[in-house]
């Protein structure tokens, strides 16, 4: 009996998050409401509010459900190639339609809703930053990066231009732009050559 109840709850949760993404794509975040999600998903709005205190929290969970495993790094022994693969995947998932506008709206909502900001940082931003720093550390330990370079700063240098373009200039994030960032960064932090 408990297994059936758990499966029903999991199915309901999945339907609510899928509906949130579908409705958000159709009408945009500004017009999205818990009531509209509940009506389309066939769930009670109180059921949704018990799990998610706001539409920002609901959207965060819905977007995170797209990539449960997270954006993981390969480790081929080539730090630039590995960063390129991972950042291209992130751009493809979070910066382009259909989900790019919803991700942008979520970041905007986080500026006004501290709980959403904290959850976004704890569940997405910080884990991705930690993965990046860990991959950079492995590359440094393998001699691919200067031993003196600040890895947390490298993370900020990699992500800052992406968020600037996504949120401020709202220009499209492309693989070519990512490649330009990587080229600019690694020209400066690669190991020095002995002459």
Q: For residue range 126-184, list pLDDT tens digits in order.
A: 998 999 999 999 999 999 998 988 999 999 999 999 999 988 998 889 999 999 999 98
Is the pLDDT at 68 greater than 80? The verdict is: no
Percentage of residues in the chain with pLDDT exceeding 70?
93
Closest CA to 23 of 67, 55, 65: 55
Which pLDDT does position 69 carry in this prediction?
Answer: 46
Which pLDDT does position 146 carry in this prediction?
Answer: 87
Is the pLDDT at 194 greater than 90? The verdict is: no
In the numeric block, which tokens belong to residue 72?
């993981």
Give the pLDDT mean for 97-114.
88
Is the pLDDT at 97 greater than 50? The verdict is: yes
Summary mean pLDDT of the chain: 88
Sign for the CA dihedral angle at 94, 100, 103, 108 comes to positive
Separation of alpha carbons 122 and 108, rounded Å: 16
Lowest mean pLDDT among 17-26, 81-90, 169-178, 186-195: 186-195
Lowest mean pLDDT among 20-24, 57-61, 67-71: 67-71
Is the pLDDT at 59 greater than 60? The verdict is: yes
Which pLDDT does position 195 carry in this prediction?
Answer: 43
Is the pLDDT at 9 greater than 50? The verdict is: yes
Q: Please answer whether residues 124 and 132 qualify as being in contact, where contact means their C-beta atoms are separated by less than 8 angstroms.
A: no
| Confidence (pTM) | 0.79
For residue 66, whether the previous peptide bond is cis, meaning omega lies within 30 degrees of 0, is: no
| End-to-end CA separation in angstroms for the chain | 73
Separation of alpha carbons 14 and 114, rounded Å: 25
Give the pLDDT mean for 104-118.
91
Distant-in-sequence, close-in-space partners of 69: CB < 8 Å, separation ≥ 6? none
Is the pLDDT at 190 greater than 80? The verdict is: no
Separation of alpha carbons 23 and 31, rounded Å: 9
- CATH numbers and ranges of domains, the chain: 2-51 (1.10.10.60), 65-189 (1.10.357.10)
187-193 long-range contacts, Cβ below 8 Å, gap at least 24? Answer: 189/145, 189/146, 189/149, 189/154, 190/144, 190/145, 190/146, 191/143, 191/144, 191/145, 191/146, 192/146
Percentage of residues in the chain with pLDDT exceeding 90?
55
Closest CA to 94 of 83, 82, 102, 84: 102
11: number of Cβ within 10 Å = 10
């Amino acid at each position: 009996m408990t297994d059936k109840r758990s499966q029903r709850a999991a199915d309901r949760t999945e339907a609510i998050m899928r509906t949130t993404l579908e409705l958000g794509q159709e009408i945009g975040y500004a017009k999205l409401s818990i009531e509209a999600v509940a009506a389309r998903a066939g769930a009670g709005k109180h059921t949704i509010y018990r799990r998610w205190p706001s539409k920002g929290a609901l959207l965060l969970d819905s977007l995170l459900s797209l990539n449960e495993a997270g954006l993981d790094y390969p480790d081929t022994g080539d730090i630039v190639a590995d960063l390129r693969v991972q950042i291209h995947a992130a751009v493809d998932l979070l910066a382009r339609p259909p989900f790019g506008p919803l991700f942008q709206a979520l970041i905007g909502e986080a500026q006004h809703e501290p709980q959403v900001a904290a959850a976004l940082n704890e569940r997405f931003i910080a884990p991705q930053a930690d993965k990046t720093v860990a991959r950079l550390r492995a590359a440094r330990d393998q001699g691919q990066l200067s031993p003196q370079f600040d890895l947390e700063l490298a993370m900020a240098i990699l992500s800052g231009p992406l968020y600037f373009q996504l949120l401020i200039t709202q220009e499209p994030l492309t693989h070519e732009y990512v490649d330009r960032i990587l080229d600019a960064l690694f020209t400066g932090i690669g190991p020095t050559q002995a002459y």
